[in-house]
Amino acid sequence: MNPRTASAAAFAEAKRIIPGGVNSPVRAFRGVGGEPFFVNRAEGAHIWDIDGNELIDYVGTWGPAILGHAPEVVVTAIRETAARGVSFGIPNPLEIEMARLITQWIPSIQKVRMVNSGTEATMSALRLARGFTGRNKVVKFEGCYHGHVDSLLVRAGSGALTHGEPDSAGIPRAFSDLTLSLPFNDTQILRDVFAREGGEIAAVILEPIPANAGLYFPQPGFLEELRRLCTEHGALLIFDEVMTGFRVARGGAQELYGITPDLTALGKIIGGGLPVGAFGGRADIMDRLSPDGPVYQAGTLSGNPLAMAAGLAQLKELERVNGWKRLEELGATLETAMSDLLRQQNRGMAFQRVGSMFCLFFTGGPVLNLADAQRSDREAFGRYFHGCLERGVYLAPSQFETGFLSLAHSEADLEKTARAIAESVNASWR
């Protein structure tokens, strides 16, 4: 590896004019120590930093790059669309095409509205749920991250968790007082809360597969009971599928588990790498949105033609090549390699995967919720992260993030990755 002198200089300059030197906190490497590198270009499953180092990338711009970086179909769609105009602020046919595709692939979504980020999608879905039900309280789960929405930064995941400040400053206590944060996978506590406050709960929002505190999964019966309780008490069930939508399956996590939410938040993959978000669900709920209903929501760049074109190109290519089958094959190959590694280790580690999403926890035993994830040895993870980085493999710079495979990853990439991980794991324990 070349010394990262250019990245060090760039970071020093960035800190002078950008808070913390980054435009999103987890990029600052605070969870693993050291300083971030700066990227010059990305292609396929590889990225190159400004010092000329080549890395196999498992961050994939935090999920959207499911085809890999700069896929030809997406780049061509952006180029051809940009030649006709980059933004209109007026309805365009691509918005209809994207809405049609989403409603066809995710049956629970009868109507959908485009926005510009996952945060905007979850924020709007919550406002709509409150407007529809006439209630104020919201249930969320510890470790589930739904963007930097004020009322949801309570025991959150992702960057908030990494930096040890899940309850952000600047949020009035009254906002968080309306949010009930529960442990994931604890059905009894969920029943108790609904028995006590069910008539005041507007919605329950969750990542059906939590992927912002590492990666863990709903236990059998948990989602089914959640659906039953929401229906019984007249609360709306909101699935945050910003990460899992169109990644773990064509119809997202709700297809995998056979659960029908009332509202769904989407993002990442549906923009092909451009800023995007969407929320949708039952028609009677969505019809409460302005201009037809009293719940206001708007956005100057919503349905931006570049994002719509890029997302449509990516989704159509995924379906054309049956990308989910190939991603499962790649994930299984990586999991086999990791299982072999863990059998050789006499230390506490847990590897978790669904499809093309994965996480290595530096803790033994099952990881079923945030408390389990937080038992991880973060110092060991930091050494492991830097060991992989120096061996040409870039993973998310936090124990509490998820890795992503893409269709651009090759068998050779996975072989090199397995070697790098094995060597880095061996060197990480002290």
Catalytic residues, which ones?
A: 145, 240, 268
Same domain, 302 and 392: no
- For residue 203 the two structure tokens come to 């919605």
Chain segment 263-313, per-residue pLDDT in tens = 999 999 999 999 999 999 999 999 999 999 999 999 999 999 999 999 999
**Could you tell me what percent of the chain has a pLDDT over 70?**
96
Mean pLDDT across the chain, nearest whole number?
94
CB–CB of 76/281 below 8 Å?
Answer: no
Q: Mark which of 292, 319, 346 sits at the end of a domain.
A: 319
114 and 208 housed in the same domain: yes
Same-domain status, 65 and 82: no
Instruction: Name 64's Cβ contacts closer than 8 Å, sequence gap at least 6.
Output: 268, 269, 271, 272, 273
pTM for the predicted model, two decimal places: 0.95
Same domain? 89 vs 160: yes
Residues 210 and 225 in one domain: yes
Asked if residue 82 has pLDDT above 90, the reply is: yes
The strand pairing partners of 180, in sequence order, are 139
Report helix, strand or coil for 344: helix
CATH number for the domain that contains residue 171: 3.40.640.10
315 and 331 in a single domain? The answer is no
**245 and 169 belong to one structural domain:** yes
Show the tokens assigned to 289. 């949105």
Give me the domain span that covers residue 97: 72-319
Paired residues of 393 in beta bridges: 56
The pLDDT of residue 95 is above 50: yes
Which of 269, 296, 319 is a domain's end point? 319
Nearest by Cα to 145 from 161, 163, 162, 157: 157
Domain count, the chain: 2
Do 399 and 380 share a structural domain?
yes
In the predicted model, what is the mean pLDDT of residues 208-236?
97
Q: In what order do the strands lie in the sheet with 137-141?
A: 111-115, 277-281, 263-267, 236-240, 201-206, 137-141, 179-182
> Is 30 in a helix, a strand, or coil?
coil
Q: Last residue of some domain: 299, 319, 339?
A: 319
Q: What is the pLDDT of residues 126-181, one digit of tens each?
A: 999 999 999 999 999 999 999 887 777 765 555 544 433 345 777 777 777 899 99
Residues 284, 156 share a domain: yes
Q: Are residues 57 and 134 in the same domain?
A: no
Contact 414, 353 (CB under 8 A): no
Q: Of the ranges 146-160, 249-263, 367-381, which one carries the lowest mean pLDDT score?
A: 146-160
**Residue linked to tokens 């995967």:** 353
Q: Give 295's strand partners.
A: 289
What's the rounded Cα separation, in Å, for the pair 264 and 252?
Answer: 10
Q: Are residues 90 and 236 in the same domain?
A: yes
194 and 178: one domain?
A: yes
